[in-house]
Amino acid sequence: MKLHRPHGSLREHDDPIRLTPEDAGWTYTGLRVLTLRAGTSRTIHTGEFEAFVLPLAGACAVRVDGMTFELSGRDSVFTRVTDFAYVPRDAEVELTATGDLELALPMARCTNRLAPKYGPADQIPVDTRGAGRATRQVTNFGVPGVWDHADKLNACELITPDGNWSSYPPHKHDTASDCEVVNEEIYYFRIAGRDGITPSREGFGMHRTYTADGTLDENVAVRDGDVFLVPQGYHGPCIAAPGYPMYYLNVLAGPAPERSMAFCDDPAHSWVRGSWDGETPDPRCPVTNHEGRIG
């Protein structure tokens, strides 16, 4: 399985990303990223997948099952926490762009068909996690306990200020045990350019995924628009190079009957969490909330 999918390798026509579970080599988790011109519409069919409609840049209307949700969106993933919509499996979804639009559809193959639902930006918890150079923002828009209106799908967003580390200590969720559940996970990266706001291919970051026995050991440079697949093993850190803030969208789903994002740290590095107790969080976090930039 090829884990690192660089920008452009998952393109389908004008859409930057089309990744199905079959493309990834697993069962549940997928991702699409669409682009629409201002005033245009697009109809998609979800089939056996539920999805979140998540504006990355721009605003749109979502029409599904006779309901219409107006998503106010944002200028960039680095400027604001956005509202979103949940759309069920076996649905015809019409997307209409208010202005030029870039849109993510994190997806999960599921069994149960739920009703469509709107997710207001002002009800999304924004957490600061870690401390010192391991401080990052976690936007928990689609996680269990915050958003329980999904069958299999879990998703969240992270912003790592330039020079900081996130997804750390390394952790895994590839075994059903007392501390973890099995989840397939997608990392979708956006890297800001020199202004700290506009995604750009100029900058870069680093990502690590490995197994304890050494059969998997990948350390890759990631750039704007790249995808990394995590089928197993410990993953982290993600490191934002100085000068270039890092965003990533995490998409997770798996076979467990109940949605969960439970994980186990790599025991070699779990002690690091205790060291944060005496450290001050980076004041740049949180970077954004539903009103705009605050960091």
Question: Which CATH number goes with the domain that contains 224?
Answer: 2.60.120.10
Q: How far is residue 122's CA from residue 83's CA, in Å, rounded to a whole number?
A: 8
pLDDT in tens, 159-195: 999 999 999 999 999 999 999 999 999 999 999 999 9
Is 290 within the bounds of a domain? no
Is 228 within the bounds of a domain? yes
Is 178 within the bounds of a domain? yes
- pLDDT range class, residue 1, cuts 50, 70, 90: confident
Residue 234: is its pLDDT beyond 70?
Answer: yes
Is 295 within the bounds of a domain? no
Is 288 within the bounds of a domain? no
What is the residue-averaged pLDDT of the chain? 97
> Would you state the pLDDT for residue 295?
66
Task: Pull the structure tokens for residue 251.
Answer: 């998409």
Phi, psi of 173 (to 5 degrees): -150, 70
Please give the share of the chain, as a percent, with pLDDT higher than 90: 99
> Would you state the pLDDT for residue 48?
98
Is 277 within the bounds of a domain? yes
Instruction: Tell me the whole-structure pTM to 2 decimals.
Output: 0.98
- pLDDT range class, residue 243, cuts 50, 70, 90: very high
Residue 9: is its pLDDT beyond 80?
Answer: yes
Residue showing tokens 């779990």: 270
Counted domains in the chain: 1
Is 267 within the bounds of a domain? yes
pLDDT in tens, 194-223: 999 999 999 999 999 999 999 999 999 999
Residue 142: is its pLDDT beyond 70?
Answer: yes
Residue 94: is its pLDDT beyond 90?
Answer: yes
Q: How far is residue 217's CA from residue 247's CA, in Å, rounded to a whole number?
A: 23
Q: Which domain holds residue 17?
A: 4-282
pLDDT in tens, 66-81: 999 999 999 999 999 9
Bridge-partner residues for 31, per DSSP?
19, 106
Task: Pull the structure tokens for residue 244.
Answer: 């270039």
Bridge-partner residues for 104, per DSSP?
33, 54
Please give the share of the chain, as a percent, with pLDDT higher than 70: 100
Is 294 within the bounds of a domain? no
